[in-house]
Chains A and B, each alone.
Chain A
Amino acid sequence: MSAKSPFDEMRAADGSIRPHYQAHAEWLKSQQPDFLQQKQREANALYTRLGITFAVYGDESGDERSIPFDIIPRIIRPAAWKIISDGACQRVRALNAFLKDVYNDQEIVKAGIMPASQFTGNPAYRAEMKGVQLPGDVYVHIAGVDIVKTDEGQFYVLEDNLRTPSGVSYVLENRKMMMRLFPDLFSRMPVAPVDHFADDLLENLRAVAPPQASQPTVVVMTPGAHNSAYFEHAFLAQQMGVELVEGQDMFVANDIVYLRTTEGPQRVDVIYRRIDDDFLDPLAFRPDSALGVPGLFSAYRAGNVNLANAIGTGVADDKSTYLYVPKMIEFYLNEKPIIENVPTYKLSDPEDLAYTLKHLPELVVKEVHGSGGYGMLVGPTSTKEQIAEFRKLIEKNPKNYIAQPTLALSTCPTFIDSEIVPRHVDLRPYVLAGREVTLVPGGLTRVALNKGSLVVNSSQGGGTKDTWVLEDQSC
């Protein structure tokens, strides 16, 4: 890590409060010391009682836990939000264009920018999708773009999540919680609302219904109550006012998808599916899938139903494709990337590999297809033994890894053990694409609760914060 201390979003280098945190800092100062503690306890109790939980994979007990919630909001200036918002939308537009290209004319290969093997060799590539025409040419309808900040105005995209990104329920629940705990704060500060997310999502999903559907029926499809994100599936269905369905609730006849209801078959037009490609249709993909709907893919190909996100979007969000996104932005949109990629070493390249192996203690190494903070090494915070062990893994299969310099993620004030201390954060805004590409002002701020830790994943000691985008242009 660089010797320079990380960028503190609340305090400037001289210790003064930055303008957009001023109102909140004043409010904080006027509170009794044990008031915050009491509010934190209240928040914890509420989250447990409301059953807002996730299951931890690899945890033998299989218990559900609540993700720790921090009661100090992360506050973002309008100017900074404009960069994040424009940058994330730009990326999603480029990635959608890329997906359309991959499954159709492959202009990007013809232009010599990317070899076809980059996607055809990817396990998430679906040859079945070649030539399938989708409403509005939209492949990714909901994207989570992970963004970090390292300095004033300096943002990087860490990764794109284009399959079934989760976490948006926390954006909405965290806001509800803050309004419940600190209603007076909202009257002091112009915080942009986020509650219309579900309406926007539903409108987007309706916009990409097959053109023949005049009153499209939208459903949320879940793998079931045992999935780690089941709470979110149920939450989104309820917020949108649509049915939460499992594979067994649907059937296909003559390439048309129907729901089994107590009043007979009911036609389905758009499925917001929170289930992986592999499990969608046992006739087209994994034959042992009991979670899917036989014949769904055929109905999809025939244009009688739409899926969000599309099948095969995984080719665009793995960590080796990530390297090409800035080029995609230039190629498809003819624009300069608004937010940069983190400089990345591809370990399939011998030069990059040699450099990485020499500098392991300074780098972050990730699996190309890994996610959720599993299978990664954070050099600066790892022991010599951990580094040595990871070195062996890399040497065994270098292709499987990428490396990045350890970024000095910005910190935000966080309430820990009755004190307010800086902790590292990242941000996942949720981009919606349908008739147009939009996002609600805010997103999921994840915070590494352990001192000095840079890993924000909930499975690895991370928590969440409410994210406040200010509407007042003066700060």
Chain B
Amino acid sequence: MLSRQANNLYWMSRQIERAENTARLLDITYRMSLLPYRVTDEERAWAEPWALPLVINGLAKEYYADNPGPVTSDKVLRFMVLDNTNPSSIYSLMRAARENGRSMRGLLTTEMYEDLNAMWLELRSRSLTALSNGGINEFFEWIKTQSHQFRGVTVGTMLRDEAYQFIRLGTFMERADNTVRLLDVKYHTLLPSADEVGGAVDYYQWSALLRSVSALSAYRRIYRDVITPKRVAELLLLHEDMPRSLHACMNEIYEILGDLCKKESMEPERLAGELHAQLHYGRVDQIMEVGLHEYLMEFLEKLHTLGAELNQNFLVPVFEPETKSSQTQSQSQGATQKQSA
């Protein structure tokens, strides 16, 4: 298929997955903000609960440029949910996903397109006031449900062709990225002070993290014990039965790339295999020895290298010598951002 088609489909599903993960993240932030603790140390002001979604998604700079003064829930929610100038807001992500889907309408099933379109039309009718009044939780639940539904419709109706593979690939590339980010920031920056490790706040935050990836009850069933960082790391990194764990994501990615890489020894398949093996044969003790943060950062870097290889081999391949215009292309996320062209 054409690279542009693959690229638009890949980004469509990445954008929906990212919108879902943003909703999960904001949901958990909201829950944590209800805890009776405040950061008093000014140097750690960025560890305020409402600053976390910005840090995790790497949006702090963009946010502060538009929103001077203290970080408040209202401002962050406006910025992350309905701000149409922030390309990473749920609103913008869904708009981009719908635009990508619309431009590739012929490759989607009728059910998929109708679902995507209905989701966008409903989102467009929502306002922030209505959100704060009507219960922000309900809204996050709605976004999650929409994402679940679109994935379900995709799996349930689509021909298992190349287009399907690229849609699935986008979902798991994005999910892997999000799980890494979530785990890293929580582990290092959450606590008001080091003394509180193992305290009530600590416990609540770890359980909130697990809940944000729908893993709390799974944790209880598997470990039947108190929540410890090491076990959380094990569950979200290495446990392949956990659908949002890195291992589960890499299982899918490796399998998809095995199908897509028709030539021998293609770099994306090799890289995915390496990452997969690392998780498949990894031990949590070794990870903790290296340091979870270091481990996660290294992993994220490899994941980005894999993303770049996907671009080069499938999505926005550069064949010609003049690489200038192609570089700008590889940063774009499918149809919407190319519209201005």
Contacts and interface: CB of A to CB of B under 8 A. Distances in A.
A246 B329 CA distance: 14
B249 to A, nearest CB: 21
Contacts of A225: 102-103, 335
A310 interface: no
A252 interface: yes
Given A243-B2, A248-B329, A290-B341, A262 B319 contact: no
Contact of A245 (B2, B162, B314, B319): B2
B135 interface: no
A265 interface: yes
A238 B3 CA distance: 18
B160 interface: no
B262 interface: yes
Interface string B37-78: 000000000000000000000000000000000000000000
Interface in B122-175: 162, 166
A91 to B, nearest CB: 35
A419 B60 CA distance: 66
Contacts of B106: 234, 238
A248 B320 contact: no
Contact of A262 (B6, B102, B322): B6
Interface stretch (A253-261, A333-341, A461-469): A253-261
B85 interface: no
Contacts of A265: 317, 319
Interface residues of B, number: 26
Interface in A223-263: 225-226, 234, 238, 243, 245-246, 248-249, 251-253, 258-263
A298 to B, nearest CB: 13
B3 A262 contact: yes
Which of A253, A258, A263 has most B Cβ within 10 Å?
A: A263
Contacts of B262: 263
A262 B341 contact: no
Given A226-B339, A248-B329, A261 B2 contact: yes
- Dominant secondary structure at the B interface: helix
A460 B91 CA distance: 37
Nearest to B103: A225
Given A260-B4, A261-B3, A253 B320 contact: yes
B338 interface: yes
A260 B319 contact: yes
Nearest to B314: A262
A253 B320 CA distance: 6
B319 A248 contact: no
A220 interface: no
B9 to A, nearest CB: 11
A55 to B, nearest CB: 14
Contacts of A258: 319
A357 to B, nearest CB: 46
Contacts, number: 50
Contacts of B162: 262
A251 B320 contact: yes
Contacts of B316: 260
Interface in B166-202: 166
Interface in B1-18: 1-4, 6
Contacts of A249: 2-4
A265 B319 CA distance: 8
Q: How large is the interface on A (under 10, 10 to 19, 20 to 34, 35 or more residues)?
A: 20 to 34
A205 interface: no
B260 interface: yes
Contacts of B314: 262
Contacts of B166: 262
Contacts of B103: 225
Nearest to B310: A262
Nearest to B322: A294
Contacts of B339: 226
Nearest to B165: A262
B2 A259 contact: yes
A248 B102 contact: no
A184 to B, nearest CB: 30
A259 B339 CA distance: 20
B4 A264 contact: no
A261 B162 CA distance: 12
Which of B4, B6, B315 has most A Cβ within 10 Å?
A: B4
A171 interface: no
A253 B319 contact: yes
Contacts of B313: 262
A106 to B, nearest CB: 37
Interface in B311-338: 313-317, 319-322, 329, 335, 338
Interface string A157-184: 0000000000000000000000000000
A225 B104 CA distance: 10
A427 interface: no
Which of A243, A251, A253 has most B Cβ within 10 Å?
A: A251
Nearest to A260: B3
A363 interface: no
Interface string A262-293: 11110000000000000000000000001100
Contacts of A252: 320
A262 B1 contact: yes
B317 A248 contact: no
A119 to B, nearest CB: 33
Which of B2, B162, B322, B341 has most A Cβ within 10 Å?
A: B2
A249 B106 CA distance: 17
A152 B320 CA distance: 60
A259 to B, nearest CB: 7
9 contacts: A225-B102, A234-B106, A251-B319, A253-B320, A260-B319, A262-B2, A263-B262, A290-B341, A294-B322
Interface of A: 225-226, 234, 238, 243, 245-246, 248-249, 251-253, 258-265, 290-291, 294
Interface of B: 1-4, 6, 102-103, 106, 162, 166, 260, 262, 313-317, 319-322, 329, 335, 338-339, 341
Given A246-B4, A258-B319, A262-B3, 20 more contacts: A225-B102, A243-B2, A248-B4, A253-B319, A253-B321, A260-B2, A260-B3, A260-B4, A260-B319, A262-B2, A262-B313, A262-B314, A262-B315, A263-B262, A264-B317, A265-B317, A265-B319, A290-B341, A291-B341, A294-B322
Query: Which 10 pairs between the two chains have the least Cβ-Cβ distance?
Result: A290-B341, A260-B3, A262-B314, A251-B320, A262-B6, A225-B103, A249-B4, A249-B2, A260-B317, A265-B319
